[in-house]
Homo-oligomer: A and B are copies of this chain.
Amino acid sequence: MPTTTREFHLVARPQGEPAPTDFALVERTLPDPEPGELLIRNLVISVDPYMRGKMSGVRTYTDPYELNAPMDGGAVGVVEASADPDVPVGTTVLHNAGWRSHAVVPAAHTRPVNTREPLGPSVYLGALGMPGQTAYVGLLHKAEMRRDDTVFVSGAAGAVGGVVGQLARLHGARRVVGSAGSPEKVAYLLDELGFDAAFDYRAGPVRKQLAEAAPEGIDVYFDNVGGEHLEAAIACANDFARFAVCGAISGYNATEPPYAPRNLFQIVTKRLTLRGFIVGDDPQLTGDFYRDVAPAVAEGRIRVRETVVEGLENAPEAFVSMLRGGNVGKMVVRVSH
């Protein structure tokens, strides 16, 4: 029962914004699953900001993508053939063999997901997946958000930021402030996600807009953007504010050195704590995350929106669009139905 897969290989290291020629869609025949393995047909695959780092070829907390090999990434698929007696054909599983139509994966590297959720399987790539857990861990465990904090999150209309803001509200924030890259996204934050204030960071200086949106200062900053946003958050921070530093998407495609905040001495005078983190470092929090967030998503207390691109062949464009801010909520690519 050999199966053909189509899979994206990285064939060149992007300089600046990734170009279509950095990727190649390759067809090859998959072997039958060995004992303990599953053949999976992907339904949806994920494009995430962290993947840009893996394309650059530099080892950080994760290995870079190899050239001329399939890229990995989050995916949800259906088991089409199983050589593991515990995983029947037809099971829907979350796994990490994304950027392709089919894959043979050890069952131990997969996790069955609940297909009775009111939301589709892609929710496990967003609010109930890595981005949602990133929001949960960063806000509650790294920034140690407390009731009555004023919370600011940048990139608030993205997969992580939207969950951060809604979790902050559910955990008793005094005020939730978000930044996003268009008036439509600002309206989404205010009207759909219940932010108390939001601004379009392209419409004027971040520092000035943040000071107006949080006139009493901020106690927590969840940073997805870096650069000018980080400088503005330091400027508007209250004493003892805590920053969860999650990403710096403003610099991911940069070929010049990034914008550098000039006010770092306020880390001392305001006694700020900046804590960088990676969600994978705290697997022991996964249980807490599901217990807290899954019911909130199922009951609509955390609202979820997705930007869905149809067709595996469009995954590179979806990825580049996401880095430009072309998504509202989680950006996913639908590979099959």
Residues of A within 8 A of B (CB): 53, 60-61, 226, 230, 239, 245-248, 251, 257-258, 260-262, 264-278, 281
Q: How far is the CA of A206 from the CA of B326 in the complex (A)?
A: 41
Query: Which of B60, B262, B281 is the one whose CB lies under 8 Å from A260?
Result: B262
B264-A269 in contact (CB<8A): no
A-B contacts besides A60-B270, A245-B267, 17 pairs, CB < 8 Å: A60-B269, A61-B269, A246-B268, A248-B264, A248-B268, A251-B265, A258-B262, A260-B262, A260-B264, A261-B264, A267-B275, A267-B276, A271-B277, A271-B281, A273-B275, A273-B276, A274-B274
Please list 30 pairs of residues, one from A and one from B, whose beta carbons are closer than 8 Å in the complex, sorted by A's number.
Answer: A53-B269, A61-B239, A61-B269, A61-B270, A61-B271, A226-B264, A226-B265, A230-B264, A245-B267, A245-B268, A258-B262, A258-B264, A258-B265, A260-B260, A260-B262, A260-B264, A261-B264, A266-B276, A267-B276, A268-B276, A269-B276, A270-B276, A271-B275, A271-B276, A272-B275, A272-B276, A273-B273, A273-B274, A273-B276, A274-B275
Instruction: Pick from A257, A269, A281 the residue with the most CB of B within 10 Å.
Output: A269
What are the 6 closest A-B residue pairs judged by CB atoms, nearest first?
A: A260-B260, A267-B276, A60-B269, A268-B276, A257-B262, A274-B274
